[in-house]
Amino acid sequence: MNRLKIAIQKKGRLSENSHKLLQECGIKFSNGTDVLKTCASNFPVDILFLRDDDIPQYVEQQVADIGILGENIVFEKNREVEILDQLGFAQCRLSLAIPKEELYTGPGWFMNKKIATSYPRLLTRYLAENNLTATIEEISGSVEIAPGIGLAEAVCDIVSSGSTLMTNGLKEVQVIMKSQAVVIASKDLDSEKRKILEKLLFRIRAVRNARENKYILLNAPLESLHDICKILPGMKSPTILPLEEKGWCSIHSVVKEDEFWERIDQLRNAGAQGILVIPIEKMIV
């Protein structure tokens, strides 16, 4: 039987979350530290553990059918692959950074400077768009050390928490692009693999929706029911159940994680009491 080959990062910023995502999709697989390929026991997928930088090439060449990696690498490598979904984790930015004691005067600062990066394509594009000429020093890792050892005057690299820049005495001065984890796929998958992929994407979306939403229950006096329902749109509309106590009801709904605290304040002001918030395991919309 046909199996879908999924490439994920072996070691690095995305690997733990990529594992977790597949596991939350109900896919069971083992992974020892030296294993480069494993077969899921309960879903028709094989998982390849690769360097994220190589994943676009493997997917283009159909060594892997799909991959989970950062958009930054997809755009840098510019291979013939399709981006299917953003995954909402591994958020970061590709930025230019300079020694912290330097006075930054704007993009013109980079004119005729030497910049170390693992992202020559994206940096070249940025420089061209800003009519800048600079020398690009392409290196494959530990880019932030370049100014400290005299290899370059600035760096263009991924910033997530910013701690790597800080420990290397650098400051972020210009964001070139924002990035997060995405699913990419080969452009010609056969119909059987497409079917497995659709099933997997359905599960991935359910996991992602669940992570981004919370289940909320609260008690409301009937006279504020209308106002409270306006604050809580719910998946279709809120569920309303009567309470034993006269004049009161219980409202069940779903709120977005990132709007959550604001909604709670509005609900309390509208008279809601006994608010319970519960994580959602899976959410199918």
Per CB under 6 A, residues contacting ligand PRP are 12-13, 52, 141, 157-164
Give yes or no for a contact between 185 and 82, defined as CB atoms under 8 angstroms apart.
yes
Maximal CA-CA distance, the chain: 76
Planar angle of CA 188, 81, 45, nearest 5 degrees? 65
Place of tokens 């979904």: 85
141 binds, among Zn ion, ligand PRP, none (CB under 5 to 8 A by kind): ligand PRP
Q: Smaller CB distance to Zn ion: residue 52 or 153?
A: 52
Q: Which is nearer to ligand PRP, 117 or 186 (CB)?
A: 117
Whose tokens are 């992602």? That residue is 208
| Residues engaged in binding Zn ion (CB under 5 A) | 52-53
Q: How far is the CB of 69 from Zn ion (least distance, A)?
A: 8
Q: Which residue has the tokens 């400051």?
A: 171
C-beta of 169 vs 279, nearer to ligand PRP:
169
Question: CA angle 235-238-239, nearest 5°?
Answer: 120
What are the structure tokens assigned to 150, written together? Answer: 């005299």
Nearer to ligand PRP, 23 or 160 (CB): 160
Instruction: Return the one option of Zn ion, ligand PRP, none that residue 13 interacts with (CB less than 5 to 8 A, by type).
Output: ligand PRP
Return the H-helix or E-strand segment holding 21: helix 15-24
User: For residue 105, what are the contacts with CB-CB under 8 A and spacing of at least 6?
Assistant: none
CB of residue 160 vs Zn ion: minimum separation in angstroms? Answer: 13
Residue 20: CB partners within 8 Å, gap ≥ 6? none
216 binds, among ligand PRP, Zn ion, none (CB under 5 to 8 A by kind): none
Nearest to Zn ion of 135, 160 (CB atom): 160
Smallest distance, Å, CB 6 to ligand PRP? 18
Closest CB 162 distance from ligand PRP, rounded Å:
5
